[in-house]
Structure formats: structure tokens, C-alpha cells
Amino acid sequence: QVQLTESGGGSVEAGGSLRLSCVASAYIHNSFCMAWFRQAPGREREAVASIFTAGGSTYYADSVAGRFTISRDMAMNTVYLQMTDLKPEDTAMYYCAAVESIFGSGEACYRSSYKSWGQGTQVTVSS
């Protein structure tokens, strides 16, 4: 399993932006699903965004579509989550996840099970 390390979390006011990074310990080849999940206190973990590394097909939760953008840099073994127009309800621990996959779309990746997880990075949005 690949090891994942997230960074970039922090505290911002509503309407602000953050960019999360997820660095993989091994080369992310062209058959990986990668995703960002989040979990707020007292709530279940939910998928936020996903990407299939071959081609870069993406998929988003309705709650973040149009505000968040997932992208990857294969040369840097890194996946990003650009978050804009942040809202207090975006407050959560954000986790990066990865799994080797034959799926060919971001939507399939969104519904996939993941084997590798990072330790998480906290995002706090104040009103």
C-alpha cells in the first residue's frame, strides 16, 4: 500500500480558500483512483472529490461542486484539493485516499473502496 501525507489545512473565515496537498510515497501510475474524504465530529465520513489518474477524470459531491477542484501532479506524486468559497459546514478533518484501480472515470473512483489513507488535515471555517 502507498503511504499518503496530507498538508495544507488550517483555519479560515467563510468565503476564504485553502489548498490541500496529498503526497504519495510511491509513484502514482496511470491506474489509480485518488480521493478526498472528510469527517466532521459526530458525522460519518463522506467522499468529497475523486480523480482517476489516467486522464484526470473527476467527480464531486453535490455539496462542493463548483467550489472545490481536485487535481493531480503525476511527476510530484501529489493530489491537490483546491477549496474556494469555504463555508462553516466544510469544517472537518480531511483525508486523502488511494487505491489501484481499473476503473476509468472519476465517478467510478468516487464510489470505490480505498486501501490507503493519510492521517488527515484539519480544516476549520468560521462564520
| Per-residue pLDDT tens digits for 61-84 | 999 999 999 999 988 899 999 999
Residues in CB range of 45: below 8 A, 6 or more apart: 37, 38, 39, 95
pLDDT range class, residue 29, cuts 50, 70, 90: confident
Average pLDDT over residues 7-20: 98
pLDDT range class, residue 124, cuts 50, 70, 90: very high
Whole-angstrom Cα distance, residue 32 to residue 34?
6
